[in-house]
Structure 1
Amino acid sequence: MHIFKGCKFVSPLQQLLSLVCVLLGISLIMMLDGCRSSSEPWVLLGSAGIPIWDWTSVCVVMSFTVLQVALYYLPVGQVTEGKMGCDGKRLKYKLNGLHAFLLTVLLMLVLWFAGVLRAGAVMDSIFSLVTAAMAISLIFSLMLFLCPIRTPSSAHVTYDNTGMIPKPLLEFVLGQSMDPRLGIIDVKHFVMVRVGFIGWAMMDVNYLLTAVEMKNSSLSLLLVIIFQLIYILDFLIDEASVLTTKEFTDEPIGFIMILGEFIWIPFFSSLPVYFLLQRPNHIHFLSAVPICLLFVTGFLIYYLSNEQKDGFRRNPRDPAYARLNTIRSPAGRSLLVSGWFGWVRHPNYSGDILMMFAWCLPCGFTSVLPYLPVLQCFNLLRQRANEIEESCLKKHRDAWREYCRRVPYKLLPYVY
C-alpha cells in the first residue's frame, strides 16, 4: 500500500470543513435567492413558488456529467505527462477540455435553436439544479469512499491526529486517494476541468441565452459574461497548467472537493451574472472603459507572470531570462527576484484577483452579493500563498528569507 504522508496531520480548519461542508449548498441557495428582486415573497431556502428539488434537474446534471465522460474519450487533444505516480512512472492526462467545451456549447445552441431547450426554464430551476448537483456529488463521493479505486500509481492517504473527528468521516470528506482513475479518466482532473470549469461556462452561456429570451441584455451583463468566458477559455487552452497546481498535486479527492466542483465553481462563480439578470444595472459606455482596462491589466499580469515562471522553470538558461536577477537556493534552484516576481511574490494570484474584481464591478454597489466570489477568491489565494511560502521556506531556507526581504509584498504592492 502506498501511503501519502503529506496529509497525516488534520488541522482545525480541515476539521471544521469536515463538519460544515454540506452547508455549502444551503449557503449557495440563500445567496442565489438574495439576488432576486426584493419585491418577491421570500421563504427559507428559496423564494415562494420556486422548487428546490425536481427530478428533471437531476436528469440535467446527470446528462451533463455523462456527456463530459463521453467527450473525455474524444480522439483529439494531446496526452501529456504530469506528476510522478507511486509506481515510479509519470501519470498521463488527456487534455481535450477545449474540444469538450466547444462541442458542449455547440450542442446547447443546437438544442436552443431547435426549441428543445428553453434557457429561462434552466435559470428558473437554479435552486433544484444546485440540490441535484449536491445529491449527485454525494453519491459520487460515497462510491469513491465505499469502493476506493486502487491503482499502482495512486497514493493512499492516511490520517493521524484526527481529534474528535472519526477517521472514516475524514476519509470520506477529505479523500483517501490522491489520483484515482477509471480507465483513462483521472477522476480529479475530470471533476476540476470538465465538471467545474466547463459547468461554469455552461451556466454563463445559459444566462446569456436567457437574457436574449427575456430581451434583457445589457452592457454590464455582456461584460461579465465575456470576461468570465475569456478566463475559462484561457484555462482550457492551457489545460496542462492545472497539473502543477498545489490543489491538484498535493490534495486528495473527497466529498468536499467533488461538492465544490459540482456546485461551487459553476453556480457560485457565475453569481454576478445571475445577479444582473435579476437586478439589471445599466452602465454607460465610458464607465465600461476603466472596467475593461482593469480586466485586461489583470489578465496580462496573470498570463505573463505564469509564462515567466513556467519558462524559467523549464529552461533557466534561456536568453530571454538572462537579464533577470536571481538568488541561488541550497536546494539547487534559482529564485527570481526581478521581473514580475520582483514586483510581488505571487503576481499570478494578483492578476487573478484583479480579473475577478473587474467582472464584479458591472453589478454596481447596491449589494455585496455579486462581490462574494472575489472576496472568497482573495481569501483562498491568501491562504494558498501562505501555504506555498511555508513550503518554500523549508525548501530554500535563507534564500527564501532573502527573497522575502527584497520583495516584501505577497499579493498587492504596498497593501499586502
Structure 2
Amino acid sequence: METNGLRQRSPTSKNYGSTNGNVVITEAGRAADKRLDQHETFEFGGPWGVAAIITGFPVLMYYLWICLWFYDGKLVYPTSVDDIQPFLLKMWGHIQKDASPNLYAWEVYSGFFFFQLFIAWVLPGFKQEGLPVPSLGYKTLMYNCNALQCWYTTIVVSFVLHWTGVFRLTQIIDNYGHLMTVGMIYGFGVSFITYFHAVATKTTIRMSGNFVYDFFMGAALNPRLGPVDLKMWAEVRIPWVIVFYLAVSGACKQYDTLGYVTPNMLFMCLATGLYINACAKGEECIPQTWDMYHEKWGFMVIFWNFAGVPFSYVYSVVYMASHDPSAYRFSTLGYVVIYTTLLTAYYIWDTSMAQKSHFKMQTQGVLNFRRTFPQLPWHTVENPTFIQTAHGNRLLTSGWWRYSRKPNYVADFTMSFTWGAIIGTATFIPYFYPVFFITVLVHRCSRDFERCAIKYGKDWERYCEVVKYKFIPGIY
C-alpha cells in the first residue's frame, strides 16, 4: 500500500477518529496521549534531584572555567581539611573579580538577546505547520521559520561592528566569565517569569504539585510572544549563535596575539558554524520534534539554552585562546582525520534529521520541502517504509532510520567528541561536553523510548524488531 509515496511494512490497523492531513488519530491513540499529558512519575531523581541540578550545575560551570583560565586546565582541589576554606575563598575571589555581572557583560548579552528577539519578530520567514498537539485538542501551530534570515543578518551586523571598531569580537572571549554570569542570571530570570506567567494565565500542563520540580521541568508547553515561539527561538537563536561567536572571538584573539589562526581554532569555527547554520537552515524541521509538541519550557531547557550550552560546550576554545599552540598542535594526518570525522558525522546528522522531519511532513500531506543552503544528498527518503501504528502515527523504518533508532544522536555525539579531541590531551576539561552529552542522550532516549512504549504499545515492539539497535548498528 502506498500513500503519497509512503510504503508500509505491515498491515494497517483499523483506524478511526479525528484526522490531520494523512495522520489518523484513533481512540486508542487519544487515550495514550491523554495519559502522556498527565504527571505520573518524577524524573531526574525527583524534587531533590532537580534541586541538586539547579544549584550544582552553575557551580560546576564556574569551577571548570576557573580551572581552564587560571590553572592551566588542571583540576584543582583542597589537599586537606584545613585547605577547604582557603580554597573556597580563592574560588570565590576568581568569580568576584573575573566573572562579576559587570556593565559590559550586561550590555553585550542583553543587546544580543533583544536583538535576536527583535529580528525574529520582524523578519519574514518560511511558514511551517507543526505536528498535532494533543493538549490543544490536536490543533497544529504555525511557526515562522526565519532563523536563517536572522543568522545571516547577525553575521552582517557583527562584521560591520567589528570592522568599524564599534564592537571588537575579540572582547567576547576576554569577558567569558562576566558574560557567563549574566547568561546564568537570564536563565534563572526567564525561567521564573515563564513559570509564574503560566500559573497566572492557567496555561500549565503536566504539573506535579511540587514547586521545585515543576519549575525545573516547566509549566508551559507553547509560550509565545507575538509571532515568536519562544521555545523554538531560544533553542536556535541563543545558544548556538553564542557558541559560534565564542569560537570566532578565540580566532580573532589568536590573530591579534600570534599573527595567525591555528588549524585547531579554525576547526572550532567550522564546527560551530556548521552547527548553527544547520539549525537555522533546517528550522522548519524543529516543529516536528518532541521538543516542540511535548517538552515543556522550564528551567531545564531555558537555563541550558541561555547559559549551559554556550558556556560549557566550547571549553576547547577557552583553552586555545589562553595557551600557546605548541600545547595542542597535531600532525598533518591528525588534522585530516579529525576534519574528516567532523564532516562525515555532520553529513549523517544533517541528513538523518531531515529524513525524519520530511517523513513526518509527508504524513501531513506536505510533498515539497524548503530548499536552503547547503542541500545535501539523501535529505529525503523516496518511498519510505514505515510501521503504521494503532495510535495513528507512523514509525519510519528506512533511510538512516533503518540502521538505528537514533542515528542522529550517534552523529551528534561524534561531533561533540571532536570538539574536545581538537586539543588532544592538553587538558581533559573540554571533554566535559561529550561526556555530559552522551549522558544526556542516553537519559533522553530512555525517556523517549518509555513514552513511545506507552503511546504505541505492541506497535512499538514490532518497530523494535525491525530496527533492532538503539544507537550504533551491530553494537547497541
What is the TM-score when the length of structure 2 is the normalising length?
Answer: 0.76
Residue 407 of structure 2 corresponds to residue 347 of structure 1? yes
- The 8 Å contact of residues 195 and 220 in structure 2, kept in 1 or not, is answered as no
Q: Quick one: structure 1 residues 249 and 12, their matched pair in 2 at CA, closer, same or farther if it must change by over 3 Å?
A: same
| 1:59 corresponds to | 107
Alignment of 1:275-286 (within 5 A): 275-279=319-323, 280=325, 281-286=328-333
Distance 1:409 1:219, change over 3 A: same
Establish whether residue 96 from structure 1 lines up as the match of residue 139 from structure 2: no
Deviations 1:93-140 (A, max 9, x none): 221112212222222222222222233433222111111111222222
Match in the other structure for 2:341: 294
Q: Do the aligned partners of 2:66 and 2:91 also contact (CA within 8 Å) in 1?
A: no
Contact 2:285 2:358 (C-alpha < 8 Å) held by counterparts:
no
Task: Say which of 114, 118, 121 aligns to 1:73.
Answer: 121
Question: Which consecutive residues of structure 1, in runs of 5 or more, have no partner in the other structure?
Answer: none
**Residue of structure 2 aligned with 1:110, choices 154, 157, 160:** 160
Change (3 A) 1:335 1:168: closer
1:122 to 172, 176, 197: 172
Q: Distance in 2 between matches of 1:194 and 1:357?
A: 23
Please tell me whether residue 142 in structure 1 is matched to residue 192 in structure 2: yes
Q: Find the aligned partners of 1:196 and 1:244 in 2 and give their Cα distance.
A: 20
Cα pair distance change 1:91/1:27, threshold 3 Å: same
Residues 371-405 of structure 1: CA distance to partner in whole angstroms, max 9, x if unpaired?
A: 11112221212222222222332333334324434
Structure 1 residues 168 and 301, CA gap change in structure 2 (3 angstroms)? same
Q: Is the 8 A contact 1:201 1:232 kept in 2?
A: yes
Q: 1:158 to 1:399 in 2, by over 3 A?
A: closer
- The one-letter code sitting in structure 2 at the alignment partner of 1:27 is L
Report the count of equivalent residues: 407
* Matched AA of 2:268: V
Residue 11 of structure 1: aligned partner: 43
2:352 to 286, 302, 305: 305
Letter in 2 for 1:354: T
Residue 169 of structure 1, CA deviation: 3.1
Task: Check the 8 A contact 2:121/2:226 in 1, yes or no.
Answer: no
**Match of residue 255, structure 1, among 293, 299, 302:** 299
Output the amino acid matched with 1:74. V
C-alpha separation in 1, matches of 2:264 and 2:173: 19
Q: Deviations over 1:138-176 (max 9, x none)?
A: 22223223343877xx9522423x5xxxx3333333222
Matches within 5 A, 1:41-52: 43-45=90-92, 47=94, 50-52=98-100
Find the partner of 2:207 among 138, 141, 159: 159
Specify the code of the residue in structure 2 equivalent to 1:145: Y
Q: Matches of 2:466 and 2:139 in 1, distance apart? A: 39
* Match of residue 274, structure 1, among 303, 318, 324: 318
Contact 1:158 1:176 in 2 (8 A): yes
CA distance in 1, matches of 2:200, 2:35: 12
Q: CA deviation at 1:339?
A: 4.0
Give matches, 1:329-348, under 5 Å: 329-332=389-392, 334-348=394-408
- Give, as a single letter, the amino acid of the residue that structure 1 aligns with 2:314: S
Deviation at 1:71, TM superposition (A): 0.7
Give the deviation of 1:336 after TM superposition: 4.3
Larger radius of gyration: 2
SS at match of 1:22: helix
Relative contact order higher in (CA < 8 Å, ≥ 6 apart): 2
Q: How far apart are residue 338 of structure 1 and its match?
A: 4.8
- Quote the Cα distance in structure 1 between the aligned partners of 2:212 and 2:73: 40
Work out the CA distance in 2 between the residues paired with 1:126 and 1:68: 20
One-letter code aligned to 1:112: H
d(CA) in 1 for partners of 2:137 and 2:460? Answer: 32
Q: Deviations over 1:11-58 (max 9, x none)?
A: 353421234313322211221222236369983157495343312212
The alpha carbon displacement at 1:350 in A equals 1.2
Which of 217, 228, 238 aligns to 1:185? It is 228
Q: Secondary structure at the match of 1:44?
A: helix
Structure 2 residue matching 1:35: 3-state secondary structure:
helix
Between 1:119-128 and 1:400-409, the stretch displaced more is: 400-409
Cα pair distance change 1:313/1:92, threshold 3 Å: closer
Quote the sequence identity (%): 22
Q: CA RMSD in A?
A: 3.1
Q: CA deviation at 1:328?
A: 4.8
CA–CA distance in 1 between the matches of 2:433 and 2:336?
Answer: 22
